[in-house]
Each structure stands twice: as C-alpha cells, then as structure tokens.
Amino acid sequence: MDKKDYPTTDEEIIRYESHNNDVEDPRYQKFVSPLVNKILANFSQDHKGLDFGAGTGPVITKMLTDEGYDIITYDPYFDNDKTVFDQRFDYIVSCEVIEHFHEPYTEFERLRKMLKPGGALFLKTDVYTEDRDFHAWYYKSDETHVFFYHPYTFKWIKNEFSFNSLEIDGRHISLSA
C-alpha cells in the first residue's frame, strides 16, 4: 500500500479494538494452535518467548503460560513496553501482525536482533501467490493490512537478515536464527 494511504493510529486502534479476541474462545485458540504447537514442539518451559503484536487478547501467551512457558507480550498500542527491544528471546511469535507493519524492514531487523542464536521466529499471515485473484482476495480488503508477503519475500527476508532456515507451511512461516 502506498504510505499516503496508511490508516492513522486512531483508525488502527479502532479496528483492532473491534476484534473479538477472547483468550478463552476455543475458536480463537484453535486459530492460533498451529503456532503454539510449533513452540511446544521446539522449545521448553526454560526458554524465553515474546508474543509480538499480541493485541487486546494475547491468546498465544495465555495458552503457553497455561503450559508453564515463560513468554511476555508486546504490542505498540496495547502493551507498549519498549524495554522488550533490549531483551533477547529464544522464540518470537507474531500472529496476523506482519501485514500491519508500516516499516517491514525495520521491524524484521528488530525481530532478528531480538532472537538468541538458535532461536526462531514464528509468523502467521495469508501469503500472496500468483494463483490468487488479488482483486477478489479478502485479505487485501482490511484497511490495516498495508504490506503483503509472497514466498519470494520470505526468502528475501531469510537472506537479508541472516536467518539459517525458512519454512512456509500455508499461512505459517518459521525462520530460524
């Protein structure tokens, strides 16, 4: 999206507050469970995690803390504790967030720097491919979605920020440090 068309901060907050992000909602838990399961399979309770862009209902954090995991949240509007940027994490999870990045290069650079060696970045977004009809694609209709990702974009991110590996599994993307 052209930067002149980006929503204002107030418009974004109104949109995000309209989401029904009840951490107890089984449908919401099912929606994020592939990311939670990746963390459970690859990291232990001794590892430190960050739920980046956790929003108004940090369901991933809730599900992992229920399992005894050490994870904290960050959100630029709802939990804007910038001290997280000075910390290092074994894993960072970001569900339905990266399409909202106004400065994707800066954000991915920040996320990569916050990962410990051997850490992983787990993402969820709808990935654009040429077989989609862009004009009919529901994902582009959310006015807060300002940046879209293609598999080639993730390959570029992997190389540009020196990630060791990339896995794209539908809407689930993993980058290992």
CA angle, 44 then 49 then 50, to 5°: 160
CA dihedral 21, 72, 170, 127 (to 10 degrees): 80
SS3 97: coil
CA angle, 162 then 119 then 69, to 5°: 155
Banded model confidence at residue 17, pLDDT cuts 50, 70, 90: confident
pLDDT score for 13: 84
Please write the tens of the pLDDT for every residue from 142-157.
Answer: 899 999 999 999 999 9
Q: Which helix (H) or strand (E) holds 40?
A: helix 26-42
Indicate the average pLDDT of the chain: 95
Q: How many structural domains is the chain composed of?
A: 1
Please write the tens of the pLDDT for every residue from 75-112.
Answer: 999 999 999 999 999 999 999 999 999 999 999 999 99
Q: What is the bridge-based pairing of β-strands 70-74 and 115-124? A: unpaired
Residues shown for the chain: 177
Which residue would you say has higher pLDDT here, 90 or 17? Answer: 90
Please write the tens of the pLDDT for every residue from 31-43.
Answer: 999 999 999 999 9
Reading the block at residue 130, the tokens are 């040429």
pLDDT at 160 over 80: yes
pLDDT at 169 over 90: yes
CA-CA distance, 58 to 20, in Å (whole number)?
11
Banded model confidence at residue 22, pLDDT cuts 50, 70, 90: confident
pLDDT score for 16: 83
pLDDT score for 43: 98
What Å distances lie between residue 155 and 23, 47, 151, 173, CA to CA?
32, 27, 6, 11
Whether the full predicted model's pTM is greater than 0.85, yes or no, is yes
Q: Is the dihedral of CA 14, 18, 22, 26 positive or negative?
A: negative
pLDDT at 9 over 90: no
- For residues 113-141, give the mean pLDDT: 96
Q: Which CATH number belongs to the domain containing residue 20 in this structure?
A: 3.40.50.150
30: region left, alpha or beta (phi > 0 left; psi from -120 to 50 alpha): alpha
Domain limits for position 61: 3-176
- The answer to whether the beta carbons of residues 125 and 147 sit under 8 Å apart is no
Q: What share of the chain is helix, strand, coil (3-state, %, to 5)?
A: 40, 20, 35
